[in-house]
Amino acid sequence: MTRNLKVPALVLKVNPVGENHRGLAMLVSGEGLLHPFAYGAQGKRSALRGTAVPYNRGIADLHFDGARNRWRLTAFDPVDTHDGLREDLDRFYTATTWAEILLKTHGAGEDSAELFELAATAFSMLSSSAPRDIKRLHVGFLWQFLDIEGVRPNPEQCGRCGKVLPIGGSDGPARFLPNGLLTGPECAENRWPALPDGARRWLMTISGEALEVAVKIGLAPGAVTAAENWLLTIIQTLLERPLRSIRK
Ligand SMILES: [Zn+2]
């Protein structure tokens, strides 16, 4: 079986293969994560040499060779080269973490067009993000990602006893276990990290909102950091391994 596609795609990773070729990992709209081979892409005269690089998004010409069971990238027309990612370390490291999450979670399934849309929007916004907005954008991306993957927890419920966890209650903040399970104060130990009510309210507010809207809603820096830690803990539990790209 052979197939030819001309589809929106985001380059997540590139590996040289031999002297001349390149192996890629791409998030492809409607297809999920593919690993096409690009013949000659390392060569000086190849158009792919400069275009098929992380984290370019564009239109990919892909050919599936059924006999070899292999995808080939034959052309790539960049739409957004995200130059701003290379101009700022915080932007760049955030992009690296997103790419690692997308690579390790397969990016496949029925919702891969939705996942592609989220990634495309998030990388474009990150590329021109003001320094003060980067962390909120990051947390917003992680939160929407968990929703698309179908594993987003309810921030208003204790994961241990099921009790409703009111925002603005007087019993102290919610806390989360080393596996990311959110608990109310009645089930928590004080040594577990707290998730401030402001962070839970913010996550509730941005649920179902576009990232462009979510990032405009303010949140105190300490609460942003707590929310980031919670969501990265959940994602690493899902992956069953630590993310390498997280800066301590
Ligand atoms: Zn409880």
CA 175 → CA 8, 40, 179, 207, distances in Å? 40, 52, 11, 20
Cα 161 to ligand 1 centre (Å): 4
Separation of 180 CA from ligand 1 center, angstroms?
14
**Structural domains in the chain?**
2-80 (2.40.50.140), 83-239 (1.20.1440)
Q: Please give the distance, rounded to the nearest whole angstrom, from the Cα atom of residue 175 to the centre of ligand 1.
A: 10
d(CA 41, CA 173): 53
Q: For the residues 66-70, what does the mean pLDDT come to?
A: 92
Q: Which class for 29: exposed (0-12), middle (13-18), buried (19 or more C-beta within 10 A)?
A: buried
What are the C-alpha distances in Å from 190 to residues 51, 154, 229, 242? 51, 21, 17, 24
Cα of 223 to ligand 1 centre, how many Å? 21
User: 176-211 pLDDT, tens per residue?
Assistant: 999 999 999 999 999 999 999 999 999 999 998 999
**Ligand 1 mean position to 217 CA, how many Å?**
29
With a cut of 80, say whether residue 109 has pLDDT above it. no
3-class DSSP state of 15: strand
Q: How far is the CA of 174 from the centre of ligand 1 (A)?
A: 9
pLDDT of residue 245: 87
Q: Which residues surround ligand 1, an ion (CB under 5 A)?
A: 158, 160-161, 163, 184, 186-187
Burial class of residue 89 (count of CB atoms within 10 Å of its CB; 0-12, 13-18, 19+): exposed
State the residue for tokens 């929310």: 227
pTM of the predicted model as reported, rounded to 2 decimal places: 0.95
